[in-house]
A and B are shown apart, each in its own frame.
Chain A
Amino acid sequence: MATKEIKPNDPMIDPATGEYRVIAQGETFRSITEKIARIVLTPHTPMGWFGLFTIAGGGATMLLVALTWLFLKGVGIWAITQPVAWGFAIINFVWWIGIGHAGTLISAILLLFKQGWRNAISRFAEAMTIFAVCCAGLFPLIHVGRPWLGYWLFPLPFTMTVWPQFRSPLMWDVFAVSTYATISVVFWYIGMVPDLGTLRDKSQSKIAQYFYGIISVGWRGSVRHWMRYETASLLLAGLATPLVLSVHTVISFDFAVAVLPGWHTTIFPPYFVAGAIYSGFAMVLTLAIPLRKFYHLEALVTERHIDNMGKVMLATGFIVAYGYGMEAFMAWYSANHWEAFTFWNRAFGPMGWSYWVLITCNLAIPLTTLWSRKLRTNISFMFLMSIIVNTGMWFERFVIVVTSLTRDFLPSSWGTYRATKWDYMTFVGTLGFFTFLFLLFVRFLPMIPMNEIRMLLPGAKIKPKVAEAAD
């Protein structure tokens, strides 16, 4: 049994299954409520939170500076020019959206598959989705050059009577991403309403009672409400599932519909979706590991979660590997001169180093080590792995966008790409902004869904009267 290989007397391992427990033993309805509500309702914000908040706030301020300069000077401050008209803005957009996808996967797809272990991590994964989509949505908006005209993207009856062109994947993107953002917020908020009711009832201060009282819309836990709520959650999950798959598919169309070698391939939609989930799970780990440590939530976010996320990363990592393999195979099998050159240029051209960074970070390191359960339940290793995969996935988008654009059909129009400090500031700024929003979330909203955790507890089982007396 796998149990014996690790720690034979670990109380976190269920002797019946040999698996790590989803939730520690001995927790009750009240104890988990206290554990989660305390983080939000405490009058004493931990100093560490303030420290991180300051750093993240600095990052967000840097973003503000970079954007202000961008609005004053225009997109010329970035490295984008001909032939690389899509630089960091698109790389970061795709990267951030991809990160968001794991949140929806955890909250929607795993809900439909009745994966009880997802409950503890679903709320903050969903929050991660929303904040990642905020960061992602920023990039196309600032990339258009005149962001104050961004509303032209929507079919609105304004005085010029100009309407959008619906045959373009870029237009589909507007609808895919805006729908994704809206549905994610609705799903997240609806899921939070009962927990906000708990916070309203637990809070001691008048301000908190008013605040949570209003945003919990008067939730009182009537079973009639609960049944409609459960139906709505399942329906939202069922809707978010095709949505999340469509969003990255549509984003991959932005590339695949173009005729550029290296972009014009049919493997893009599944490979983009798998890559998105791969990097998204890595980001969930990047957030979950420090959070459970900092807020002492080891009983709720257990080794089981880390282990399972490692497995999902392994599976999606292999789909991504298949995508890379197919690209290489098609470069040869298509017998297309341009495709073959693009592949050669990606791996051995002047920017070949970026391809090997991506192969190392996305395939070589994770796909060899994540097989080991010992490593998958090693918290520091998994944290490191999450950073490596996120780096790798960022480079994947870099390789797709930059290497294809720098050298297309005509050697006379070849160019190069070197990001400017404003590019870097904007990217690092969104990392700060994301952390900033996430810290506000963990401070003011319940980061673990209490009502869903309660359903996992042994006390939630309805036993016949006789069995109860025997207990």
Chain B
Amino acid sequence: MPAREGTYGLLAEFDTPGDLVRAARQAHDDGWRRMDCYTPYPVEEAAEAIGFHRNKVPLLTLIGGLMGGAAMFALETWISTLAYPLNIAGRPTYSWPAFVVPAYEWTILWAGLSAGFGMLALNGLPSLYHPVFNAPNFRDGATTDKFFLCLEALDPKFDLAETKAYLQKFGPTSVVEVDY
């Protein structure tokens, strides 16, 4: 992330998930796009309110799984027919039913690794620094019991004073300015 200066956005704190979802939905309806919600547990309604409906984790998982399975099956075939053919009680060197088991395990292995690490990668994690951590009330609540809506300065509608007044209308506990 390039070094930036100035304001990252305005962070409104809410006590209940219901307040957050209503505020987020209204802001999205009013044309806000550069925005995010921060919650201590998954709040699906908030994600839908800010227009986040689909994600690419399932696709990554599918690709990972197919590649893992295919790679293992190919490796087994290559080893058993070309690299090191063994006569085991006269069975064919290409004994594909037996190869299914390790290929199945590798399908799961690589699908699982793609799901787990793909999720982190799509989330841009690990990233130990983020501007919202600068907000004085963020770390006390965002991972415990508070619900935050952040309207970001990159949105063309952003204006420090106007946006602050706009957020105040939703009745938040507080609205703070977040610096980079």
B42 on interface, CB distance cutoff 8 Å: yes
Contacts of A45 in B (CB 8 A): none
Q: Tell me which residues across on chain B come within 8 A of A213, comparing CB atoms.
A: 128
Q: Among the listed B112, B127, B129, B142, which residue makes an inter-chain contact with A239, where contact means beta carbons less than 8 Å apart?
A: B112
Given A236-B115, A239-B108, do A451 and B142 touch, yes or no (CB 8 Å)?
Answer: no
Question: Which of A223, A230, A240 has the largest count of B CB atoms less than 10 A from its CB?
Answer: A223
Contact of B41 among A202, A217, A455 (CB under 8 A): A455
The reply on B158 being an interface residue by CB < 8 A is: no
Q: Does B37 touch A at the CB level, under 8 Å?
A: yes
**Proximity string of chain B (30-70) to chain A, C-beta cutoff 8 Å, 1 when within and 0 when not:** 00000011111111111100101001011001000100000
- Within 8 Å by CB of A176, from B22, B55, B101, B127, lies B101
Dominant secondary structure at the A interface:
helix
Which residues of chain B are near A455, meaning CB under 8 Å? 41-42
The reply to whether the CB of B136 lies closer than 8 angstroms to some CB of chain A is no
- In the complex the two chains form, what is the Cα distance from A258 to B61 in whole Å? 36
Q: For residues 1 through 54 of chain A, which have their beta carbon under 8 Å from a beta carbon of chain B?
A: 28-30, 33
Q: What residues of A have a CB within 8 angstroms of the CB of B17 in the complex?
A: 459-460, 462
Do B115 and A172 touch across chains, with their CB atoms under 8 A apart?
Answer: no
For A229, give its contact among B42, B86, B99 (CB under 8 Å).
B42
| A 229-243 contacts with B by CB, 8 A | 229-232, 235-236, 239-240, 242-243
Nearest B-chain residue to A257, judged by Cβ: B98
Judge if A165 is at the interface, Cβ distance under 8 Å. yes
Contact of B4 with A by CB under 8 A: no
Contact A451–B40 (Cβ < 8 Å): yes
Closest A residue by C-beta to B93: A167
> Contacts A175-B101, A226-B39; is A201 near B144 (CB within 8 Å)?
yes
| Proximity bits, B97-132, A CB within 8 Å = 1, else 0 | 011011011101101110111111011011111101
Knowing A228-B57, A250-B101 are in contact, say whether A29-B144 is a contact too (CB < 8 A): yes
Select which of B36, B41, B80 is within 8 A of A222 by beta carbon. B36
Cβ-defined contact, B98 with A166, below 8 A: yes
Q: Let me know if B144 and A223 touch, CB within 8 A.
A: no
Residue from A171, A193, A217, A250 within 8 A of B128 (CB atoms): A217
* A-contact bits for B142-168, CB 8 A (1 contact / 0 none): 111100000000000000000000000
Chain B nearest Cβ from A284, distance in angstroms: 22
Q: Is A452 an interface residue (CB 8 A)?
A: yes
| Cβ A468 vs Cβ B16 within 8 A | yes
Alpha-carbon gap, A228 to B56, bound state (A): 8
Partner among A182, A197, A468 whose Cβ is within 8 Å of the Cβ of B18: A468
Residues of chain A within 8 A of B5, CB atoms compared? none
A179-235 contacts to B (CB < 8 Å): 179, 182-183, 186-187, 189-190, 193-194, 197-198, 200-202, 213-214, 217-232, 235
Which chain B residue lies CB-closest to A250? B101
| A239 near B115: Cβ-Cβ < 8 Å | yes
Interface of B is mostly: helix
Residues A44-70 near B (CB distance < 8 A): none
Q: Which residues of A contact B44 (CB under 8 A)?
A: 227, 230
Pair A190/B116 contact, Cβ less than 8 Å: yes
Q: Cβ of B117: which chain A residues have Cβ within 8 Å of it? A: 186
Q: Is the CB of A163 within 8 A of B79?
A: yes
Could you tell me the distance between the alpha carbons of A172 and B46 in the complex, rounded to whole angstroms?
45
Contacts of B3 in A (CB 8 A): none
Q: Is the CB of A30 within 8 A of B144?
A: yes
Whether A73 is near chain B, meaning CB under 8 Å from some CB there, is no
A interface residues, tally (CB under 8 Å): 69
- Residues of B near A293 (CB, < 8 A) are none
Contacts of B50 in A (CB 8 A): 223-224
Task: Give the distance to chain B from A380, nearest Cβ to Cβ, in Å.
Answer: 34
Q: How far is the CA of A311 from the CA of B120 in the complex (A)?
A: 37
Asked whether A454 lies within 8 Å of B40 as measured between CB atoms, the reply is yes
Please measure, in the bound complex, the distance between the C-alpha atom of A197 and the C-alpha atom of B127, giving whole angstroms: 12
Contact A167:B91 (CB < 8 A) given known A186-B112, A222-B36: yes
Closest to B103 in A: A175
- Tell whether B174 is near chain A: CB-to-CB under 8 Å: no
Is the CB of A147 closer than 8 A to any CB of chain B?
no
A172-B102 contact in complex given A231-B55, A240-B112, C-beta closer than 8 Å: yes
* B36 nearest CB neighbor, chain A only: A222
Residues of A within 8 Å of B130, CB to CB, are 218, 220
Residues from chain A with Cβ under 8 Å of B116 in the complex: 186-187, 189-190, 232, 236
Q: A166-B79, A201-B140, A219-B125 are in contact. Are A30 and B145 (CB under 8 A)?
A: yes
Most chain B beta carbons < 10 A, residue from A28, A30, A172, A239: A239
Chain A residues positioned under 8 Å from B122 (CB to CB): 228
Is A114 in contact with chain B by the CB < 8 A criterion?
Answer: no
Interface assignment of B27: CB less than 8 Å from any CB of chain A: no
Residues of A within 8 A of B101 (CB): 169, 172, 175-176, 246, 250
> Are B119 and A220 in contact, CB atoms less than 8 angstroms apart?
no
> Is A228 within 8 A of B119, CB to CB?
yes
- Chain A residues positioned under 8 Å from B139 (CB to CB): 200-201
Q: Is A223 a contact of B108 with CB atoms below 8 Å?
A: no
Cα–Cα distance between A161 and B82 once the two chains are bound (Å): 12
CA distance A235 to B129 in the complex (A): 28
Q: Give 4 closest A-B pairs by Cβ, nearest first.
A: A29-B145, A217-B126, A232-B119, A163-B84
Please report B residues at the A interface, Cβ cutoff 8 Å.
16-18, 21-22, 36-47, 50, 52, 55, 57-58, 61, 65, 72, 75-76, 79-80, 83-84, 86, 88, 91, 95, 98-99, 101-102, 104-106, 108-109, 111-113, 115-120, 122-123, 125-130, 132-133, 139-140, 142-145
22 example contacts (A-B, Cβ-Cβ < 8 A) are as follows A29-B144, A155-B79, A172-B101, A183-B108, A183-B109, A186-B112, A187-B112, A201-B142, A217-B120, A217-B127, A222-B36, A222-B123, A223-B38, A223-B46, A226-B43, A231-B57, A232-B61, A235-B58, A235-B115, A246-B101, A454-B41, A465-B22
